Structure 1
């Protein structure tokens, strides 16, 4: 199959959730045909009649992360290997990594989905990609989408020693970067590094138009703080290596699931049921994935999915992503999730300049540490202690740390010495680096 942009649904092509469902159903049969070409799904769906209705589809078994691991490396391959364009693996944060592969035609869908940014990506943009370019898909995805829209890409891999934070700040400033792609935490680290370099993040980067972020849960409070620091919109993106982009934000701040390209469902671990919307773990069926079709794949991310109208007019469900941290840890008789505590931290006054924190849940209390300037330390720790007690209903031990404790200043200012391998050295050179380059 040769898939082009004209073969894929576009925003605005449907006018209601009912039309969206019919659009999904029209592609679902093709997806299931592709799936049955893979060894895994020939076994997984054996003896089951081809679904003819949405109710039949809801009766198909879920696909788990363990299924993907057990099928490594090519048990889910549904096309000849000669058609593959790229191979990827997930980060493995929840266990052994899972394998994924895409054809060039699959990439047409992947890139266009990511490029659906309300801010817009165009030829006048300089786009800094600050996520991994290794086996994970994230850096490659943003790079491909930016080039699809004609932007200039700066490949600032955040796992490369050749791109320390001091260079990130220099590139942002000197190249007049307009758009960036990173985890939310990265943008806070850039702000700290920029200040150490003598820059004001909100004033000294006038070309910057927006910060695209993803890869970790983001609360409204932290988003607001990042936007205030840099003076630009923070635009959220949600996806995975196994699926590519799954959701993007509209101009009204809602994260919409790309349901014209994938069917979302919600698995409820407490009773084992799968429902069209509500709270639970996200189950997804990409509709235009040919190399490695996935049918009712449980991503295990905690989400809230709902179908409601939005002023953007996209007629797409909204999704709130809590991540696996959404399950939380017990403290006393409560269960505390990261997003709950993050909200309280970033609701502290901006003047306190609290950007970095960590916490440990114990049976008796939450132990929280925040970086805060000495002149605000007493006020900030008292306010956060009171907020945890009143809002979360647990005891808290809050400690203020000097800036540079959790995120060392040396890490923000160092210029990494990156060398190529060599074997011959002069009399005053360090030959302990022979054959090693870092």
Structure 2
């Protein structure tokens, strides 16, 4: 085993030892044996999804004593739900080491321009500057117009800009509005470092042409910290000594092949305060192994954007990176843009004063050819970017790049985690571990309250617990819970076979005076069989319905089907004998 792999294995072992100190993971990993889990077996451990992190309290993520944490960050989504990240001194040192590799030095004067400063990466960058002795201008903390910001850069001879790509583009447009010359007004500028958004090849080239300096991208999230950084050859190298990166199929069924697109799954090996295990962040990525001209051997990662920004048309799948590469190939490149997915293609809004209506057909043709879908284009000036706001002390609104007309994007990470919880609950149910199954199905309902399958499985657990309950009071209480879960499941999806099966079991096993109805139960079981259920239990249940309604011929037919599946089943044999004797 190479020294690098041995070190990563050791870090994973250390992570699994300490991660249960966080209340969140103590609960989540209660049923897992973490012994002998190495890098090759990490996929046996559960995913962590954003919905879980948002639901947990801030201190649930903390895996160290609170006095060891030196910094706290939050990220907020569009629903104002927060995810929390804590940092220890060691976490800070890890982040500084990663950022220092981006080439900052003590001669630099660094302008920070993020829409939000309350992020892990911006904090790491500031601390890295302090570590190397660079000068910091924290302009993201100041409400100022872009002309004032550019004046500040000119007067203070800024050498590096650090910020989001959209902030760099707003500064670019302001330079155009003011008629400034980059060489004359910003001669000291030598590099731009961006993070927080997709940076396609064409977008990178566009900004490098406008500023005449190299641009470097850092792939990070507030929850994980830094994941990868771009070298001078434009390759994004993963920080393999600090993170494990997997790429999984969209349905969660397994990893994708090397080079193919999949969902990013991040394990933070080096994180002390807020470690994450197999965090499914819903970014679409790919990665490849191979020696880079820069000399690095770490995997090279490409980020294509978030899965909820993906568009699909009859086998054509487009991620934000694909759309960016098309739009930033236009000449001129628009100052702002927005894409709306429609039923028959994409509607793209372009904000630029350098287009006219005569170019509309040409632009539509070029974009349609590049994206391989029908594209309509709307050209305007000031429709997406308010130039007056650029010139005033107004905090600009967050840019939305891709919208989906008339529908909401599915929460894929929650769907994958739901499937995992249901599968684990079913495994526990099969071996009669009903308490464990109960907890897992309740967790599934908490994650996705509208899951009919989760409610139906919880009803199944209540059904088994009724059989083992001793007191009449307990049986009545469990029956009421079973009935409620069946009702909810059928309200959500009246066609779900499992819910119909549970309803059939309730109708069969409930006394007539309490609403039992074997004839209706038989209809439910027949429906389930027509939908593909074919196990011995459902045929025996159907036979019992027919025996209750004195339809012995059909009862015998059902029992023969049951015995075809399991010829020596004692219950089916006894029922068949009873049916033959009547």
Q: Whose helix proportion is higher, 1 or 2?
A: 2
What is the distance in 2 between the residues matched to 1:266 and 1:104? 30
What is the distance in 2 between the residues matched to 1:372 and 1:36? 53
Q: 1:410 aligns with which of 377, 388, 393?
A: 388
3-state DSSP of counterpart to 1:29: helix
Q: Deviations over 1:63-85 (max 9, x none)?
A: 22223223322112111111111
What is the distance in 1 between the residues matched to 2:333 and 2:282? 34
Within 5 Å, give how 1:98-177 maps onto structure 2. 98-117=83-102, 120-132=103-115, 134-157=117-140, 162-177=143-158
3-state DSSP of counterpart to 1:194: helix
Q: 1:360 aligns with which of 335, 340, 346?
A: 340
Q: Which residue of 2 aligns with 1:13?
A: none
Do 1:132 and 1:138's aligned partners in 2 also have CA atoms closer than 8 Å? Answer: no
Q: Deviations over 1:151-194 (max 9, x none)?
A: 1000011xx56232222211121111110111112112101112
Q: Which residue of 2 aligns with 1:324?
A: 306
The structure-2 alpha-carbon separation of the partners of 1:269 and 1:399, relative to structure 1 and needing over 3 Å to count, comes to closer
The structure-2 alpha-carbon separation of the partners of 1:55 and 1:338, relative to structure 1 and needing over 3 Å to count, comes to closer
Q: Which residue of 2 aligns with 1:310?
A: 292
Q: Deviations over 1:248-307 (max 9, x none)?
A: 011111001101111111221235214684421111111221112212222221111221
Please, what TM-score do these two structures have when normalized by structure 2?
A: 0.63
What is the distance in 1 between the residues matched to 2:325 and 2:242? 32
The structure-2 alpha-carbon separation of the partners of 1:335 and 1:276, relative to structure 1 and needing over 3 Å to count, comes to closer
Instruction: Say which structure, 1 or 2, has more relative contact order (CA 8 Å, 6+ apart).
Output: 1
Q: Deviations over 1:339-372 (max 9, x none)?
A: 22222221122xx353322222211332222233
3-state DSSP of counterpart to 2:92: helix
What is the distance in 2 between the residues matched to 1:244 and 1:347? 31
Do 1:345 and 1:384's aligned partners in 2 also have CA atoms closer than 8 Å? Answer: no
Q: Does 1:194 align with 2:186?
A: no
3-state DSSP of counterpart to 1:319: strand
Q: Which runs of 4+ in 1 moved over 6 A?
A: none
What is the distance in 2 between the residues matched to 1:367 and 1:361? 6
Structure 2 segments unaligned to the other structure (5+ residues): 396-582
3-state DSSP of counterpart to 1:305: strand
Q: 2:12 aligns with which of 28, 31, 34?
A: 28
Do 1:166 and 1:415's aligned partners in 2 also have CA atoms closer than 8 Å? Answer: no
Do 1:332 and 1:363's aligned partners in 2 also have CA atoms closer than 8 Å? Answer: no
Q: 1:381 aligns with which of 343, 360, 376?
A: 360
Q: Does 1:287 align with 2:269?
A: yes
Q: 1:256 aligns with which of 231, 237, 242?
A: 237
What is the distance in 1 between the residues matched to 2:68 and 2:268? 19
The structure-2 alpha-carbon separation of the partners of 1:199 and 1:385, relative to structure 1 and needing over 3 Å to count, comes to same
What is the distance in 1 between the residues matched to 2:207 and 2:183? 10
Q: 1:180 aligns with which of 127, 141, 161?
A: 161
> What is the count of residue pairs matched by the alignment?
393
Q: Which residue of 2 aligns with 1:393?
A: 372
Cα RMSD (Å)? 2.4
Q: Which residue of 2 aligns with 1:4?
A: none
What is the distance in 2 between the residues matched to 1:264 and 1:336? 22
Do 2:233 and 2:294's aligned partners in 1 also have CA atoms closer than 8 Å? Answer: yes
Alpha-carbon distance, 1:102 to partner: 1.0
The structure-2 alpha-carbon separation of the partners of 1:409 and 1:89, relative to structure 1 and needing over 3 Å to count, comes to same
The structure-2 alpha-carbon separation of the partners of 1:59 and 1:100, relative to structure 1 and needing over 3 Å to count, comes to same
Q: Which residue of 2 aligns with 1:84?
A: 69
Alpha-carbon distance, 1:51 to partner: 2.6
Q: Deviations over 1:205-245 (max 9, x none)?
A: 11100110111111111111110000000111110111211
Q: Which residue of 1 aligns with 2:51?
A: 66
Q: Does 1:241 align with 2:188?
A: no
Do 1:326 and 1:339's aligned partners in 2 also have CA atoms closer than 8 Å? Answer: no
